[in-house]
Chains A and B, each alone.
Chain A
Amino acid sequence: MPEEAPVIEISNLRFAWKKRVEPVLSIASLQVNRGERVFLRGPSGSGKSSLLNLLAGVALPQSGRLKVLGQDMTALSSAQRDHFRAHHIGFIFQMFNLIPYLSVVENVTLPCRFSKKRKHKVLAQADSQQDEAIRLLGHLDMAQADVLHKPVSELSVGQQQRVAAARALIGSPELVIADEPTSSLDADRRTAFIDLLFRECDSANATLIFVSHDNSLVAPFERTIEFHELNHAASNQQPMLKAVT
């Protein structure tokens, strides 16, 4: 049953951005279960974001098995993968997460424009998308009128990341992926942000994949994956040594 299926199931996966280029990913096996909070750690350039692109269905592996939420991604057309992402995945980038010409609330409700499923989930819980956005922003301490009505470009980086978190969480996607979401925040803001993320993922019953190269953030996560142990692509092995030769 899909309910019981692992959130992520990877085996013998190989991936390169372009055909003739060396693969950036070579993963023998990876499984993440429902409700887990995973810290994925690795130096920059090691292919973490590339893996997230695969999980989100933006790119496809050249070979191997890739199942997300029980769905074999390689069996879907690109349009189906785009729909899949819209329905099931919330994504937070490192920075510049917001569309500059949309208001705070419009940024949060953006996924509902692309997924009827998430829109309906929102409307099952709240009177309107706006209400739900404001509720989520409230949890993130961002629902003050002056913040809500500011142009997003005038928000601080920390505020922007919290808006991005609200967007990733709206409509309760099963999988929340955060690609170094705290690297543009200062130290005490980082832990606060991670706390928020945990709380919201819990209440939404979402699985969280958190990517970072920052060791100091490991503590609260129940599971940590060292990326260089996971990924056996040649380009990922001993980057230091490679630089010398």
Chain B
Amino acid sequence: MAIPGLAIKSFRNRKFTTGLTVLSIALSVMLLLGIEKIRQGAETGFTNTVSGTDLIVGARSSPTQLLLYSVFHIGNPTNNISWESYEEITANPQVKWAIPISLGDSHKGYRVVGTTTQFYENFRFAGGKHLQLEQGEWFGKIDDAAVGAEVADEFGYRTGDKIVIAHGGGDESFIVHTDKPFKVAGILKRTGTPVDRAVYVGLKSIDALHQDFQGGEHDHDPLVAHDEHGDSGEQGGLSAILLGLQSRSAAISVQRTINEHDHEPLTAIMPGVVLLEVWQMMGMVERLLMIVSGFVVAVGLFSMLIILMTSLNERRREMAILRSVGARPAHVFVLIMGEAVFLTLLAIVIGVAMVYGLMLLLQPWLESMYGLYVDISLPTITELTLLGIIAVCGFFVGLIPGIRIYRYALADGMTIRV
């Protein structure tokens, strides 16, 4: 057919302006797809923060709050769980393992998590991955600490370094236990989860610090003082407990038992469920981003419309010439229309290529810096739908000048009107 060849030649003739339009649409396609890819990555990353934990238990509070402070280290527990409750819960035969967590201290702005070896052994993330050590070992002694990857990176910690822990969260912690420094025993491998942004010490060590602070016996040898308390660590109570059950299906009944616990009001949540709820709450932001990039695409298409419309008048002459050699008004319509569709498709192809190029380039960096894993795979249905919508929009954008030139062709005949 005569027309596609002409359309491509006409496009090549105006390659600079049309090239710029194609580029601007391609960039907006890239933005839209990129945001979608990052959103998917963030969602998997987010829902991957805990896995294999069947229940999280805390003092009575909202499920979201409990999830946020126990897993994401955001906010603080209003109350602690008593040691008795911990023992009662772990006595349930359904409970396979339990990770006690005690919060309330910090190290240079990062959370300090008091816990046990249970944490290292049983905490899992991203579909069942275990924690691993980059260097050294999980804390064994009372003054040992294990640090998350991001903390270690930020301050350049190596095993054997001394770090100091402050009472209270954040930077404005009021008491700094300079007299009782911890030794970095191990550095965790990066996980891309909040685990990277915390320092882990033994429960007993935390209690020792606090005991010391309350007693004000600074001249005492802290280690000796702690040994006297034995293994119980009962003083401070716990902020949260992560539970693994014998079988997943028991989660609901165990949850109910804990929620109806007599001694103190407790809340047990299934992390997967609450994670999803929180993610949907944040969906607002994500939708906003999509809307913004949708507008960017619209602007790109609009600039194509402007280019096509402004070139239309000068192309009326071309249309008269084509008519004189036998072109039908429909040919002339297809020529303009085809150009819009061709430009849009070209922009989509370039945009998609740019997204994949960027992902190949940035994937390792995004993963190591932000723990954001973007999956380089074939476009998902959502992405294909987005691209389809753009293509259809390009088609409709082409219709406008197409219909106009069709009318011109009928009205002008072969009269060349300038």
Contacts and interface: CB of A to CB of B under 8 A. Distances in A.
A132 B331 CA distance: 25
A49 interface: yes
Contact of B325 (A52, A79, A86, A96): A86
Nearest to B324: A91
A99 B321 CA distance: 7
Contact of A86 (B12, B317, B326, B416): B326
B13 A91 contact: no
A100 B13 CA distance: 8
B318 A59 contact: no
Contacts of A113: 2, 5-6, 325
A69 interface: no
Interface string A62-98: 0000000000000000110011011100010110111
B320 interface: yes
B328 A79 contact: yes
A53 B414 contact: yes
A106 B331 CA distance: 18
Contacts of B320: 93
Contacts, number: 67
A59 B414 CA distance: 9
Given A53-B415, A58-B414, A82-B328, A102 B323 contact: no
B10 interface: yes
A166 interface: no
Given A49-B415, A93-B416, A99 B318 contact: yes
B325 A167 contact: yes
B327 interface: yes
A235 interface: no
A115 interface: yes
Contacts of B6: 99, 102, 113
A56 B415 CA distance: 12
B413 interface: yes
B318 A53 contact: no
A233 interface: no
A113 B416 CA distance: 21
- SS of B interface (majority): helix
Contacts of B12: 101
B322 interface: yes
B407 interface: no
Chain A: interface size category: 20 to 34
A114 B413 contact: no
Contact of B317 (A78, A96, A167): A96
A87 B326 contact: yes
Contact of A98 (B321, B323, B416): B321
A111 interface: yes
B318 A52 contact: no
Contacts of A100: 13, 318
A185 interface: no
A110 interface: yes
B9 interface: yes
A153 B391 CA distance: 34
Interface in B99-155: none
Nearest to B5: A113
A16 to B, nearest CB: 13
A87 B416 CA distance: 21
A217 B165 CA distance: 105
A157 to B, nearest CB: 15
B321 A93 contact: yes
A91 B413 CA distance: 13
A93 B324 contact: yes
A3 to B, nearest CB: 23
Given A96-B416, A101-B9, A101-B10, A111 B326 contact: yes
Contact of B414 (A56, A87, A167): A56
B325 A114 contact: yes
Contact of A58 (B9, B321, B413, B416): B413
A58 B410 CA distance: 8
Interface string B244-278: 00000000000000000000000000000000000
Interface string B294-328: 00000000000000000000000110111111111
Interface in A38-63: 49, 52-53, 56, 58-59
Given A93-B320, A93-B321, A101-B9, A83 B326 contact: yes
Contacts of A98: 321
B233 to A, nearest CB: 82
A98 B317 CA distance: 9
B413 A53 contact: yes
A107 B369 CA distance: 58
Interface in A96-149: 96-102, 106, 110-111, 113-115
B325 A111 contact: yes
Contacts of B322: 99, 110
A83 B326 CA distance: 6
17 contacts: A82-B328, A85-B324, A85-B326, A86-B325, A86-B326, A87-B326, A91-B325, A93-B414, A96-B317, A96-B321, A100-B13, A102-B9, A106-B9, A110-B325, A113-B2, A114-B326, A115-B326
Given A91-B324, A96-B321, A113-B6, 5 more contacts: A49-B414, A52-B414, A93-B320, A100-B13, A167-B325
